[in-house]
Every structure is written in structure tokens, then in C-alpha cells.
Amino acid sequence: MAGMIGGITQTAMGTVGTLFSAIAGMKADKKLDKLLKTDPTYTSSPYAANNLGMAQQLLNSRMAGMSARERNIQTSGANARAGIGRNVTDSSQALAMMAGIQGQEGEQFNDLAMQEAQDAAMKQQNLMGANRDMTAEHKDLFDDSVRRWQDQVNTVMTQYKMRKQGGSDIGQLGSGLSSMGGMGGGGGMGGGSGVGSAASSGAMAGIGMGMSDKRLKHNYYIVGKSGSGINIYEFSYIGHKTRWQGVMADEVPQAAVMTDSGFYAVDYSKIDVPFKQVG
């Protein structure tokens, strides 16, 4: 009877574990499919684009005050020539003065053209700088969107792995409980002999061992220490009310043995703590 119950337990928990893993896989596939459809794209920066637009507009405009300065040069020249006509009677002198005025105007216009050329070169540099800044900012925005996207993918995969492991743990727990139930002499974990009897008079007891994996126990607490300093626990096995006294396998690696069920048993002959039923 105990073997049948153990087999049912193992099958049921194995099925639950498989379903748990399958559902986790479907959830992960759905989330990943959604992420793939929102693959990162280049992002535009309005601030950088605005700076580039202003730089282009300035490059296509004349240096500030150019028209007014040109008018001033022309007006000054016109006034000077008018004064020559009123005040000079000698034609040769007038021609010489007119030539001087034209020369001054030419120099002034040349200086103004050089200044405008320098202004245009500065605007060209500003345009190139604005273009580099926009490119760099767009790249930073895109790289950031890629990082955020990858973080979401990593989170989905981590969640899937954790849930898949949870399903596997459920199946292993079923195997462990089934193995323990089959060692109960005749009563299984719920009968009079239970796991404690298995350890003292069943197959495991024949070699002085008992199932002591923490994953198989609940409602446990320390009730004392052995002479060598090992913690002594009182506990129940999952799904059963019977109280036992013993150790946790992970705290006595020198006596712990991995069983075929995937859970640890303890060889109590190697430690100074007895394994016994206490309630």
C-alpha cells in the first residue's frame, strides 16, 4: 500500500512539476515574442536637431550688420566726392582726390569681405559641431534603448530559469517523498512505523542512515547540541505530523550521502546524534 501511495505521489508531483515548467516556458515565449516585435530603433533628439537647424540657418545668413556697414562706406564715399565737386576748382587735383576716395572705399570693402569670410568659416565650424553633437546624442539614446531592451530580455530569461527550476524541484520532491514512503516497513510515512521506523528497522536502518535533507522537512527548530557541537533538531516531514529528532544533512557533510532520489541522507553512525521519533 505504501509503495502504491508513494508511486501516486511521485507521479502527481512529477506531473505538477512538468506543467509548471511548461507554463513558465509559454509565458517566457510570449514575453520574448513581444520584445522582438519592439526591437530598439534609432531615437531622435529634438534638442540636438534644433541646434543643428539653428546652425544651418546661421550659415545661410549674412554677418550681422553687413548691409548697414556697406551703406556707411558708400555714403561716406558719396559725401566725400560731393565735397570735391564743391570745393576743388583744379581738375587734376579733383581727379587725384577722387582716386584716393575710391581707394579708401576699396580697402574698406576688402576688410569687410575678410570679416564676412571669417564669420562664414566660424558658422561652418558651428554647423559641423552641431552635426557631431546630434549624431553622438542620437547614438547615446539608441544605445540606452538597446540596454533597456536587453535588460528586459535578461529579466524574462532569468524568471523562466527560476520557474523551470521550481518545476524540477517539485518533481524531485515527489521522488524523494515516494522513496521515503516506501521505506516505512509496512506503514509508510503516515503509518505507525513511519520514516523513523525505516531508519531504525528498515532498509536504511540496516546501514545506520536516515533521510535528513532540509527540503523534505518543515516545522523544525533546534532543541540542543551534541557533545561535538552538532545542532540537534526536532522536525516533521512534509505532509506528516509525526515528530522526529535528528540533524540537517547540510550541517554534517562528513556524514551526508546523496541518494538516488536526489535528496541527502545521513549516516548517523558517523556522528554523535541519534535519529529517533519523539512524538
| pLDDT 10s digits, 93-133 | 778 888 888 888 888 888 888 888 888 888 888 888 888 88
99 burial class (0-12, 13-18, 19+ CB within 10 angstroms)?
exposed
Task: Quote the CA–CA distance of 100 and 106 in Å, as a whole number.
Answer: 10
For the stretch 202-212, pLDDT in tens is 334 333 466 78
Return d(Cα 70, Cα 72) in angstroms, integer: 5
Q: How far apart are CA 82 and CA 71, in angstroms?
A: 16
| 164 and 24 Cβ atoms separated by less than 8 Å | yes
Q: For residue 244, which of 267, 210, 205 has the smallest C-alpha distance?
A: 210
pLDDT score of 39 more than 60? yes
Whole-number mean pLDDT of the chain?
77
pLDDT tens figures, 152-181: 888 888 888 877 777 777 666 666 666 555
Q: What pLDDT does 5 receive?
A: 54
Q: Does this model's pTM top 0.75?
A: no
What are the cell numbers at 240?
A: 506528516
Best CA proximity match to 249, nearest among 233, 238, 261 = 233
pLDDT of 146 reads 80
Domain ranges of the chain: 46-159, 194-277
228-270 confidence digits (pLDDT tens): 999 999 998 887 888 999 999 999 999 999 887 778 889 999 9
